[in-house]
Amino acid sequence: MQSFGWLVQPAVLPWFALGFGLCIGSFLNVVIHRLPKIMEREWRAECAELSGQLAPQEPPLNLVAPRSRCPSCGHAIRAVENIPLVSWLALRGKCSKCGTRISARYPLVELLAGIGAAYSAWRFGPTMTALGAALFVWFTIALAFIDQETGLLPDDLTLPLVWVGLIVNIRGAFVPLPEAVIGAVAGYLMLWLVYWGFKLATGKEGMGYGDFKMNAAVGAFLGWKMLPLVILLSSIVGLAFGALQMFAARGKWDAGFRFHFGPYIAIAALVGLFWGEPILRWYLDRL
């Protein structure tokens, strides 16, 4: 193990984490693209079973198989075309076979995952806290992009994230374990109460249950004391994006626009993860 001691040196670890994070980002793109499709298949199969019909026969689909292909021409992505960031830049954002434009989301996700891992390593060093922070970054990236594109916050991501938060806080990586447990409960109940208050007042559903679970995961990582800041910041970010939406529509609200809260929770939670304590201290010092 001593031969790998160089890896945890302050000048090396963030760069290693950056490269590893970029690779994780490439996998996150697969998760973002395929997980909603896998869920839809499962729903169709369950509906067919409940109605007494045979489940539709579809080709296998999971996070590993089949091999990634261009959705336009079906060209199988070669290993050299799947190098994080580099391949997208080398191909100029286009499929090498048919020239169809490749979404900028792919390099963006890879870059965010890499920078998040590198910053976690630089900020916390070779510790369980750094690993927990990187995992939190990666999960929230996937959740934010899935929610923005589909309106879904899959249990396959939110519930494991709750457990990861509790596990890393067993030894107080971010907060003492009791605060993490209370944070998980409070995070869920806060948005649950908002949901039912809004529904009783308007008769409409203002958010989905996935938002409750994602906020519970935030509480499990950051503890209950950070939740008010996260909710406040997520609301501010949401209002800012809503204003941009209205500006893009030339001052008129698009009635078909769906407000997805997951990305705003993710942004606010990452701010709370890395800079929450200084923000709270700054605020309390001015009371």
d(CA 193, CA 93): 44
> Which residue range forms the structural domain that includes residue 151?
127-285
In a domain? residue 6:
no
275: pLDDT strictly greater than 50: yes
245: pLDDT strictly greater than 90: no
State the pLDDT at residue 187. Answer: 96
In a domain? residue 121:
no
In a domain? residue 22:
no
Model confidence at 138, in pLDDT bands (50, 70, 90)? very high
Longest dimension (CA), the chain: 65
DSSP per-residue codes, the chain? -GGGGGGGSTTTHHHHHHHHHHHHHHHHHHHHHHHHHHHHHHHHHHHHHHTTPPPPP-----SS-S--B-TTT-PBPPGGG-STTHHHHHTTTB-TTT-PBPPTHHHHHHHHHHHHHHHHHHHH-SSHHHHHHHHHHHHHHHHHHHHHHHS---HHHHHHHHHHHHHHTTTTSSS-HHHHHHHHHHHHHHHHHHHHHHHHHHSS--S-HHHHHHHHHHHHHH-GGGHHHHHHHHHHHHHHHHHHHHHHTTT---TT-----HHHHHHHHHHHHHHHHHHHHHHHHT-
d(CA 140, CA 12): 26
In a domain? residue 232:
yes
In tens, the pLDDT along 178-198 reads 999 999 999 999 999 988 888
d(CA 20, CA 14): 10
In a domain? residue 259:
yes
Between helix 155-168 and helix 128-150 the angle, nearest 10°, is: 160
240: pLDDT strictly greater than 60: yes
In a domain? residue 264:
yes
Strand partners, 69: 76
User: How many domains does one find in the chain?
Assistant: 1
State the pLDDT at residue 252. Answer: 60
In a domain? residue 239:
yes
In a domain? residue 41:
no
Model confidence at 26, in pLDDT bands (50, 70, 90)? very high
pTM beyond 0.75, yes or no: yes
In tens, the pLDDT along 256-268 reads 556 688 999 999 9
State the pLDDT at residue 1. Answer: 45
In tens, the pLDDT along 95-119 reads 888 888 989 999 999 999 999 999 9
The stretch 251-255 carries a mean pLDDT of: 56
